[in-house]
Homo-oligomer: A and B are copies of this chain.
C-alpha cells in the first residue's frame, strides 16, 4: 500500500489510481530557452525515482512531460523563448530546438527514464485555440481586445491548491490590465504585438497562448480528462497549477482534474536560490563533468522529494562516499557469487535480508521516502559486509540480486545490467589491452600494433615498456 502526500489536501493519502494497475502521470517540463540546471535535475530525478518505484511495484505507468516552447511569460511580460532568441539572434523555434536537444541529452545522461510522450506547446496551437473558444462559449473566458482572460470569479473554489485567498491574489498577478473583471484573472490567450514571431490566427485576432493552457490541453489529449498524478516543482503550485485546475475543471464540467498533486522542494546552492547574478548557477552539463550520474542521483535522493536541498561540495563528497559503499558492496557480492567455495542456503541470513527489503519497500511506500530507503540500503551493507567472506555462493547470489533490485528501483547501479556506458568503456579498453598483450606474447605484432593505433586514435596511448606497458588516457 503506497501512501502519497497530496498537495491538494495537505495529507498523506492511500494511492489508488483511477484505473487499477495503470498510473497516468504528467510532470511539467522545461521551458527550453536556456540550458537545464541542477533544479531541473532535482525535479526530474525525484520523479524518476517515483516512477521507477511505481513500476517496480507492478503498476504500468504512462508518463507525459511537456516541452514549453511558446507562451511562458516572465514577470516582466516578456516571453522567455523570445528573450533566448534575442540573446542568440535566432528564430525562437531554433532556440527551442537547441535547448530541447540539450535537455534530452542531459536527461539521458542522468539516467532519467524517458517519458512516454514529450509534447510541445507549439504542436497544440489548434487544440489550445479550440479550448479557449470553448471556455469563452461556456462563460469562463472573456475577450479584452485580442486577448482572452479566465474569469476566476466563476469558480468559487479557485485557489484550492495553493490555499491563497482571493484577496492575497492581487499582489501575485503579473498582468495589470485594469479592465480585467478580477485582478486575479489570468491570460488564456494574448494578443501579439506587430511583427511578433509568435502569432496565430484566432476568432479574436492574432496572438499566442498563455502559459497555463498548454498543460491542460496536452494532459487531456494524451492522458485523458482526469489523471492520477500531476507533478512539478513547488514554485509551480501558484499560479501555474492553480490555473491548470481552473481551466481543466471548467472544460470538463468540474471533474477533478488530478487525483494526487506532488511537488518537489527547492534546490539551493550555498543556501541561496540559484541565480546567474549570484554566481551560484550550476548546469547539469557542469555537474556531470565533476560527478557521475549516480553520484548526482544519490545526492538528490538523500533528501525527501518535498524538502529543500542545499547543494554543497560537502554534500557531494558524502554522496560520493555513500555511492562507493554501495558499489563496492555490490561488487563484492557479485564476486562472492562467482567465486565462493561454500554452497547452499542459510535461512537465517536470508530472512534477515528479506526483512530489510521489506523495510525498504515500506520506506518507499511512505510517500517515496528515499532518504529512509537509502538508510535501509546502508543497513543492508552494514549487516552483510562483515560476513561476505564466509558466504556461500548461493547466498551471495541471493543477497546480490535483492540488493541490486532495491538499488535499481531508485535508478541506482543500473549500469552493469544494461547496455555499455561510460564506466564500461574502460572495461572494454581493458579487454583490448589484455588481448593485445596476448598477441604480443604470441609474436602477432601486426595485429597488436593495429590495436595500439586504434586506441591511440581514441586518445588512449599505450607505450610498451620492458615490463608491461604504460597507458595514458586523454591528454
Residues on the B chain within 8 Å of A114, using CB: 101
| B-binding segment of A49-57, A76-84, A454-462 | A454-462
Interface residues of A in 76-122 (CB under 8 A from B): 90-91, 93-94, 97, 101, 104, 109, 114-120, 122
Query: Contact string, A403-421, partner B, CB cutoff 8 A, digits 1/0?
Result: 0000000000101111111
CB contacts under 8 Å to B, within A103-159, are 104, 109, 114-120, 122-123, 125-126, 129-130
A93 touches B122 (CB 8 A): no
The contact of A420 among B416, B435, B457, B473, by CB within 8 Å, is B473
Chain B neighbourhood of A442, CB < 8 A: 444
A417 shortest CB reach to chain B, Å? 8
Which residues of A167-222 have CB atoms within 8 Å of chain B's CB atoms? Answer: 200-201, 222
Q: DSSP class of A's interface residues: helix, strand, loop or mixed?
A: helix
Residues of A in contact, count (CB < 8 Å): 67
| Residues of B with C-beta under 8 A to A97 | 115-119
Other A-B pairs, 20, CB within 8 Å; known A120-B123, A324-B454, A415-B458: A91-B222, A97-B117, A101-B104, A104-B104, A125-B125, A126-B126, A330-B457, A416-B457, A417-B459, A419-B459, A419-B473, A420-B426, A420-B459, A420-B460, A421-B425, A422-B425, A424-B425, A431-B455, A435-B450, A442-B444
A375 at the interface (CB under 8 A from B): no
Nearest B residue to A328, CB-CB? B453
A426: chain B residues at CB < 8 Å are 420
How would residues 332 to 344 of chain A score, 1 for a CB under 8 Å from any chain B CB and 0 otherwise? 0011000000000
B416, A450: Cβ atoms closer than 8 Å: no
- Residues on B with C-beta less than 8 A from A429 are 420, 428
Q: Mark A425-452, 1 if CB is under 8 A from B, else 0.
A: 1111101100100110010100100110
A20 contacts the other chain (CB 8 A)? no
- Given A125-B126, A416-B457: A94 and B120 within 8 A (CB)? no
Does A474 have its Cβ within 8 Å of any Cβ on chain B?
yes
A/B interface sample: 16 pairs, CB < 8 A = A93-B119, A94-B116, A94-B117, A97-B115, A97-B117, A109-B422, A324-B450, A330-B457, A331-B457, A413-B457, A418-B458, A418-B474, A419-B459, A424-B425, A431-B455, A438-B447
Which residues of A are at the interface with B, using a C-beta cutoff of 8 A?
90-91, 93-94, 97, 101, 104, 109, 114-120, 122-123, 125-126, 129-130, 200-201, 222, 324, 327-328, 330-331, 334-335, 413, 415-422, 424-429, 431-432, 435, 438-439, 442, 444, 447, 450-451, 453-460, 473-475
B421 x A435 contact (CB < 8 A): no
Residue contact B94 to A459, C-beta cutoff 8 Å: no
Contact residues in B for A447 (Cβ distance below 8 Å): 435, 438-439
Interchain CA distance A262-B90 in the complex, whole Å: 26
A383–B335 CA distance with the chains assembled, in angstroms: 53
Copies in the complex: 2
Contact assessment for B420 and A421 in the assembled complex, using a CB-CB cutoff below 8 Å: no
A93's partner among B123, B418, B428 (CB-CB below 8 A) is: B123
- Point out the residue from B122, B334, B428 that lies within 8 Å of A425, measured CB to CB: B428
- A432: which of B129, B327, B428 is its contact (CB, 8 Å)? B428
Complex CA gap A116/B92 in Å reads: 11
B418 touches A327 (CB 8 A): no
Residues in B whose Cβ lies below 8 Å from that of A334: 456
Cα A442 to Cα B444 in complex, Å, equals: 11
Q: Shortest CB–CB separation between residue A27 and chain B, in angstroms?
A: 15
Cα A185 to Cα B171 with chains together (Å): 59
- Contact: A435 with B451, CB < 8 Å? yes
- The answer to whether residues A431 and B451 also contact, given A93-B222, A94-B117 and a CB cut-off of 8 A, is yes
Cβ-defined contact, B432 with A435, below 8 A = yes
9 closest A-B pairs by beta carbon, nearest first, are: A420-B425, A428-B428, A425-B425, A122-B123, A419-B474, A94-B117, A327-B457, A126-B200, A424-B425
Question: A108: shortest Cβ distance to chain B, in Å?
Answer: 8
Task: State how many angstroms separate the Cβ of A320 from the closest Cβ of chain B.
Answer: 11
A286 CB → nearest B CB, Å: 14
Give the CA-CA distance A84 to B242 in the complex, in Å.
36
Nearest CB to that of A199 among chain B residues? Answer: B126
Contacts of A120 in B (CB 8 A): 120, 123
Q: How far is the CB of A421 from chain B (nearest CB, A)?
A: 5
